[in-house]
Amino acid sequence: MTNWNLLSDEEFARAATDFVERACPPELRHLPHRPRWEKSAGWYQAMSREGWLAPGWPVEFGGMGLEPSRHLIYLEIFERLGTPAVAPQGIVNVGPALIGFGTDEQRQEFLPKILSGEHRWCQGFSEPNAGSDLASVRTEARPDGDGYIINGQKIWSTGAIDANWMYALVRTDKSVRKQAGLSFIMFPMDQPGVTVRPIRTISGGEEFCEVFLDHVRASAAHMVGGLNNGWKVANGLLGFERLWSGSAHQCRQALVRLKQVAHAAGKLQDPAFLRQITRLELDVLDLASCYTRSTRNLQVTRRVGFEASMLKIWATETCQRIGELMMEVGGDAVLVQDGTDFDGRHLDALTPFLEARAPTIYGGTVQIHRNILSKNVLNLPN
């Protein structure tokens, strides 16, 4: 097994580039939407087979064990070359949650199946009346023999249309305060009582879904972190998600699109535009530097701190500002769904602009994260 951290940055970047160019089909590159599993399974399995699937997992669990700076190079190259994010819930969320909070038996059962693609995951956290106020979850898990019977509804479950397992936050005790009565449990979706309905988004995709759970069964052995300890597990998982969403790589990709549109529109020499894009480029450089420090801190402490909230706000709002400037510069030419021709090349600017709305909402809205920072960092009153 290759120890990627022993390579120089240049050697690692070259190896990553060579792998993507060889293994990722051209038709999967730079897609405006995340591809369905039936189209992208081969790419997922190629990453798994050649050891490129889980850059942040420790080596002992089948990951690459990349140091933070090397992980950033990985993200930058895969994003620049337009590789699709395929079934990311298992790699980004479930794996780290099991590594951090699961039992040895759970890790042995589930981690290899995430890596192989046998298990494809979706999240069951938000509900129609429990989004930003996640502690208000009403989906209930009732003890039944050696397991639980689950009834309720989840919404905004990314990738549920292709998932065969869900991890969910469920209420297991109504007699205590809201946060104390929740548990984190996993269950298969290919069973009676699970109904998945796609939700068409503003950009035309159907990645988000609502999921109805009617007497769905889950094994007690698949509860992570212990009974009524789901709030701790969920917050740990959301910390990883927020740190991931605080990366600068999406902003960098948005800057590339902005420059392409600006070039086609003849704006690259316009002083007003240059002031705007320079400010954005400096914001992205500062974000990347802060993200690197945060990931290094995570490697030492194994704990995601409140800086994840700051990074999430910074990255998602910066990406939106880049998209807004792109629409301003491109004018009517960019108001075409699925793209149009710019300076001899086909470019879809509208879909990324529309999809940049969602990251400021999922994983906790930016308003909620400002509340987190004001209370826990600035010590402001409620």
| Location of each CATH 2.40.110.10 domain in the chain | 121-228
The one catalytic residue in 210, 241, 307, 355 is 241
HSE-up (13 A, CA, CB side) for residue 70: 23
8 Å CB contact between 275 and 337? no
Tens-binned pLDDT, residue by residue, of the chain (382 aa): 678 989 999 999 999 999 999 999 999 987 767 889 999 999 999 999 999 999 989 999 999 999 877 887 888 888 888 898 888 899 989 999 999 999 999 999 999 999 999 999 999 999 998 877 788 999 999 999 999 999 999 999 989 999 999 999 999 999 999 999 999 999 999 999 999 999 987 777 778 899 999 999 999 999 999 999 999 998 887 766 666 677 787 888 889 889 988 988 888 889 999 999 999 999 999 998 888 777 776 666 656 667 778 888 999 999 999 999 998 988 877 777 666 766 666 777 788 888 888 888 777 788 888 998 898 888 888 7
Q: What is the pLDDT of residue 75?
A: 82
Q: What is the pLDDT of residue 257?
A: 84
| Location of each CATH 1.10.540.10 domain in the chain | 4-86
Domain range 121-228, CATH class? mainly beta
Domain range 246-376, CATH class? mainly alpha
Collapsing DSSP to helix, strand or coil, 213 comes out as: strand
Distance between CA atoms of residues 181 and 138, nearest Å = 10
CATH 3.40.640.10 fits 4-86, yes or no: no
| H helix runs in the chain, sequence order | 9-23, 37-49, 68-80, 88, 95-101, 104-116, 230-245, 249-264, 271-301, 307-330, 350-355, 366-376
Give me the helix-helix angle, 230-245 and 307-330, nearest 10°: 40
Has 207 been annotated as catalytic? no
Q: In 121-152, which positions are buried (b, 16+ CB within 10 angstroms) versus exposed (e)?
A: bbbbbbbeebbeebeebebbbeeeeebbbbbb
Which residues are 183's β-sheet partners?
170
Which among 249, 244, 270 has a CA at the least distance from the CA of 259? Answer: 270
Phi/psi for 256 (5° steps) reads -60, -45
Q: What is the pLDDT of residue 42?
A: 96
